[in-house]
């Protein structure tokens, strides 16, 4: 039987390990991709910033040279012709072109015309703006970052600068994203493997728990899981499982005890029957003697029949689906009927039986009488001659309480916790002698349970016993 049915579904069917692996790898992969992309863009940014900075520095240098009334031509030549395409300086290979205020080209890096044809920049417009502008420029083979900037000349007029920085190398590095994709794919694979490994390790305690549980059988019900060996999340499960095992074990022990007690109870009367019948058959007897044997056998058979009836009652009462019919009864009258039945026995032992109080309660009449009869017969059995037995019925709000007190032999406190157990007797030999089989109080308890009531017992040896039955109206 499943306590809670789990709807079948694709996600529910996949193992926790696979789900953890998947979620972990997805999270790790997303994180890795984001970090990689961020670093990629950041590197591009830094390199391009350096390119812009280089161009801007270059403009400043040229401005410094050109603004002189008598420009240092050697320095200008070095700056424009010697340095820019110096072999080995490939990252910052650049080309410079300078125009005067009349748009006439003053000087340019050799080979610049082939990559950027001489255009006629609108010097005056740019002069007004006094603003540098950058743009990307590419020809068939290479890519350039081009700066165009007005430049103040020695005669206070404005000329114009064009510097083209070859950025083909950086561009090639960044546009080759194959490596990036391969690295990301490899990291996806790694996170998948790592995810599987982590999930497997994380679930290991669960596998250990499952193995331990699998090994527990009826013969090893005493085995327990050590919650200290489990992680915190599973320790609670381990504890709950141990508690369940405690309950199963105690039920199992009780069941075993019950069947052995039952066998024991049946063995005595059946052995008596066999013994007496064998003796009777072994020699001839008079009709009177046969009659005596039959009467004695009938007594044993009644005992067996009563035992069977009690067991049947208890097993029926345990059925949670059992519905009992209740009627509104006057409890004083009902107790009175039971007391009348036992009056002869009470008189014989010179015990006074009384009942005080009034209340009405919805109960099952037959069960109620049986319950009262069981506790009254006990009180009569265990109260010496000349004693008293008192019923008291009290009501408080919607609670009805029936108390039975006697001044009998009482019960030692160590027996009280087990007193409602089946077949439990304080003194087997004594009870056996008085005909008890230890089912009386278990039946009382199951009747109280069926009425959603409560039962409690207090007792003192040689002083007496009090049984308290509490019901809701």
Ligand X SMILES: Nc1ncnc2c1ncn2[C@@H]1O[C@H](COP(=O)(O)OP(=O)(O)O)[C@@H](O)[C@H]1O
Q: Which residues bind Mg ion (CB under 5 A)?
A: 378, 436, 440
Shortest distance, CB of residue 380 to ligand X, whole angstroms?
A: 8
Stretch 324-383 residues interacting with ligand X (CB under 6 A): 374, 378-379, 382
Selection from 233, 232, 229 nearest residue 212 by Cα: 229
Rounded to whole angstroms, the Cα distance separating 108 from 96 reads 5
Shortest distance, CB of residue 411 to ligand X, whole angstroms?
A: 5
Shortest distance, CB of residue 203 to Mg ion, whole angstroms?
A: 55
Shortest distance, CB of residue 437 to Mg ion, whole angstroms?
A: 8
Yes or no: say if 372 and 363 are a contact pair by the CB < 8 Å rule.
no
Which residue in the set 353, 426, 447, 469 belongs to the binding site for ligand X (CB under 6 A)? 426
- Judged by phi (left if over 0) then psi (alpha if -120 to 50, else beta), residue 452 lies in left
Which residues 6+ apart lie within 8 Å of 135 measured at CB?
145, 146, 148
- 409 interacts with ligand X by CB under 6 A: yes
CA atoms 109, 113, 114, 115: torsion sign: positive
Which residue in the set 62, 165, 361, 437 belongs to the binding site for ligand X (CB under 6 A)? 437
- 425 interacts with ligand X by CB under 6 A: yes
Of 59 and 455, the one with the shorter C-beta distance to ligand X is 455
Shortest distance, CB of residue 240 to ligand X, whole angstroms?
A: 34
Q: Which residues in 231-246 are b (16+ Cβ under 10 Å) and which e?
A: eeebbeebeebeeebe
- 187 interacts with ligand X by CB under 6 A: no
Packing angle, helices 365-381 and 440-450, rounded to 10: 150
The torsion defined by the Cα of 231, 237, 243 and 245, in degrees rounded to 10, comes to -100
Of 148 and 431, the one with the shorter C-beta distance to ligand X is 431
- 112 interacts with ligand X by CB under 6 A: no
- 441 interacts with ligand X by CB under 6 A: yes
Phi and psi at residue 135, in whole multiples of 5°?
-155, 160
Which residue in the set 21, 25, 162, 465 belongs to the binding site for ligand X (CB under 6 A)? 465
In the chain, what is the greatest distance between 2 CA atoms, to the nearest angstrom? 164
- 387 interacts with ligand X by CB under 6 A: no
- 406 interacts with ligand X by CB under 6 A: yes
Shortest distance, CB of residue 434 to Mg ion, whole angstroms?
A: 9
Which residues 6+ apart lie within 8 Å of 235 measured at CB?
227, 228
148 contacts which partner out of ligand X, Mg ion, none, CB within 5 to 8 A by kind? none
Shortest distance, CB of residue 294 to Mg ion, whole angstroms?
A: 27
Stretch 237-256 residues interacting with ligand X (CB under 6 A): none
Of 127 and 370, the one with the shorter C-beta distance to ligand X is 370
Cα angle 391-445-343, degrees, rounded to a multiple of 5: 35
Of 164 and 379, the one with the shorter C-beta distance to ligand X is 379
Q: Which one of 20-28, 272-280, 305-313, 405-413 is the stretch in contact with ligand X (CB under 6 A)?
A: 405-413
Which residue in the set 438, 445, 446, 447 belongs to the binding site for ligand X (CB under 6 A)? 438
HSE of 172, CA atoms in CB hemisphere, 13 A? 8
Helix spans in 156-286 (H)? 168-175, 178-215, 232-282
Which residues of the chain form contacts with ligand X (CB under 6 A)?
Answer: 374, 378-379, 382, 406, 408-411, 419, 424-427, 431, 436-441, 465
């Amino acid at each position: 039987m499943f306590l809670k049915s789990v709807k079948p579904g694709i996600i529910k069917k996949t193992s926790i390990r696979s789900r953890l692996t998947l979620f972990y790898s997805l999270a790790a992969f997303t994180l890795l991709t984001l970090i990689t992309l961020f670093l990629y863009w950041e590197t591009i940014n830094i390199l391009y910033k350096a390119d812009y900075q280089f161009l801007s520095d270059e403009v400043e240098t040229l401005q410094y040279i050109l603004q002189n009334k008598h420009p240092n031509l050697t320095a200008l030549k070095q700056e424009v012709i010697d340095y820019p395409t110096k072999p080995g300086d490939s990252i910052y290979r650049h080309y410079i072109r300078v125009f005067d205020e009349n748009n006439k080209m003053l000087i340019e890096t050799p080979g610049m015309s082939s990559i950027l044809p001489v255009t006629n920049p609108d010097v005056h417009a740019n002069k007004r703006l006094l603003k540098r502008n950058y743009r990307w420029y590419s020809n068939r083979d290479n890519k350039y970052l081009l700066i165009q900037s007005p430049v103040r000349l020695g005669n206070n007029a404005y000329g114009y600068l064009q510097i083209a920085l070859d950025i083909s190398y950086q561009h090639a590095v960044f546009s080759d994203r194959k490596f990036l994709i391969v690295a990301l794919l490899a990291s996806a694979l790694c996170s998948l493997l790592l995810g599987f490994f982590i999930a497997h390790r994380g679930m290991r305690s669960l596998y250990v728990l499952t193995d331990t549980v699998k090994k527990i059988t009826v013969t090893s019900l005493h085995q327990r899981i050590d919650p200290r060996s489990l992680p915190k999340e599973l320790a609670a499960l381990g504890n709950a499982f141990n508690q369940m095992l405690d309950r199963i074990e105690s039920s199992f022990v009780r069941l075993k005890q019950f069947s052995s007690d039952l066998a024991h109870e049946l063995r005595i009367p059946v052995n008596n029957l066999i013994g007496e019948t064998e003796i009777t058959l072994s020699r001839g007897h008079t009709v009177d003697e046969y009659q005596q044997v039959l009467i004695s056998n009938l007594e044993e058979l009644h005992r067996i029949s009563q035992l069977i009836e009690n067991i049947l009652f208890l097993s029926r009462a345990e059925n949670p689906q059992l519905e009992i019919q209740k009627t509104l009864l006057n409890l004083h009258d009902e107790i009175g009927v039971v007391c009348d039945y036992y009056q002869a026995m009470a008189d014989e032992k010179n015990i006074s039986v009384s009942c005080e109080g009034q209340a009405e309660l919805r109960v099952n009449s037959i069960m109620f009488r049986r319950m009262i009869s069981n506790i009254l017969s006990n009180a009569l059995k265990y109260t010496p001659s000349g004693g008293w037995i008192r019923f008291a019925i009290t009501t408080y709000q919607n609670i009805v309480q029936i108390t039975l007190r006697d001044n009998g032999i009482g019960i030692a406190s160590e027996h009280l916790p087990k007193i409602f157990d089946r077949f439990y007797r304080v003194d087997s030999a004594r009870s056996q002698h008085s005909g008890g089989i230890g089912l009386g109080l278990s039946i009382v308890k199951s009747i109280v349970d069926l009425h959603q009531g409560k039962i409690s017992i207090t007792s003192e040896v040689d002083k007496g016993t009090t049984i308290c039955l509490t019901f809701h109206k």
